[in-house]
Amino acid sequence: MASEIIARLPEKYEAALKSQDLYFFTSTLHKHADLNVEFEIRLCPALQKKPITPEPVHLNHDPFSPPYIPNLHIGDLRVDETNEEYVALLNKYSVVPQHFLIATKDFQSQTSPLTPSDLVVIYRLLVAARRAGKNFFAFYNCGEYSGASQPHKHVQFFPLDIDSVAPIEQLAKRTSLETPEKPFTLNPLPYANHVRRLPSDMSFYDYDQLEATLSQAFLQLLDLTVSTIRHDTTYPARKLSYNAWITLEHLHLIPRRFEEYPLRQGEKISINSLGFAGTLLVKSESQLELVKNEGIGKILRGVGLESVHEEQVQGTAAEAMDEVSSTPANSISQL
């Protein structure tokens, strides 16, 4: 169960750290205001000396398949309604304590979309963490340009202080909506982003309600993501990439065009879902200054796509009008 995974986290983390099965890299957090958002930049010089440990042959270079390193293996999860199975593992290279992930038991590709079962498991873990006095958001890097580090499908859970939220989530929370069940965009951001607010009582839903609500929200945003990509005539065919991240209140999808952003002086910075949640990771003081000077908004726009939200909204409205005009008058009141 999700609550058991969350309950085991502290003990498993300490054991993995003590045994050196897990590497913790100390970082310093720097705040940087841009686009009326207080972004976070984590400076972690130790990542320049990240240890390279050869994987045993029997792992087939897939750290998310058995046999698992015992101290990194938090436990297993099974969705009784669908029989889908997952493994929960600690992130071997951590810059924040208790950063963990879930992966599909059977190999599935990191280029595949999140399934209804994936979404339910993610949300149940977030709820279990909150009930245990912990605070996480989940993220999924999908596709070649998303910043994904492994081909085996996995979703990561990033810890926050109990009373804090990710920087971009603050922007989403401040957004007033006339129709909460419809997708929206965060207009202050210079790149395409698609957001859906989740029902406030969703933690009390049963499986069928959770599956229906989360699946509908995800498919709405995925449709908008695909539509955004189709507006870019230079986007490579069959290379769909996006970042998805999930809190208890919102689901975010961001279409991606490039995996790295070229900074000046020949340096590049890789961006994954964490960057679009408002947290970037740099490895040196010089890279920190380059990021600040370049501007985080410019960097995120550089690896994302141009927003076509207004065109999408107008297109949806036009489709609705077409539907109304082709509907018998006595049926219009039911639309």
Residues 269, 282 contacting (CB under 8 angstroms): yes
- CATH 3.30.428.70 for domain 1-49+62-321: yes
Q: At what angle do helices 207-230 and 309-325 cross, to 10 degrees?
A: 110
DSSP 179: S
pLDDT at 316 (0 to 100): 54
Between the alpha carbon of residue 118 and those of residues 46, 219, 241, 283, the distances in Å are 33, 13, 18, 32
Residue count (the chain): 335
Q: Give the catalytic positions in this structure.
A: 154
Reference 88, options 13, 25, 29, 163; nearest CA is 13
Reference 114, options 229, 234, 315, 252; nearest CA is 252
Return the SS3 of 92: coil
Taking every pair of C-alpha atoms in the chain, what is the biggest distance, in angstroms? 72
pLDDT at 315 (0 to 100): 67
Residues 167, 37 contacting (CB under 8 angstroms): yes
pLDDT at 84 (0 to 100): 95
pLDDT at 332 (0 to 100): 24
Cβ neighbours for 107, distance < 8 A, ≥ 6 positions apart? 62, 65, 152, 153
C-alpha span between 64 and 332 (Å, rounded): 52
Domain parsing of the chain, residue ranges: 1-49+62-321
**Which residue do the tokens 């419809």 mark?**
182
What pTM did the predictor assign? Answer: 0.90
C-alpha span between 49 and 18 (Å, rounded): 20
Mean per-residue pLDDT pooled into runs of 10, the chain (335 residues):
96 96 95 95 85 47 91 95 96 96 96 97 98 98 95 97 95 94 95 97 95 97 96 91 98 97 89 97 94 96 94 62 37 23
Residues 108, 126 contacting (CB under 8 angstroms): no
pLDDT at 50 (0 to 100): 64
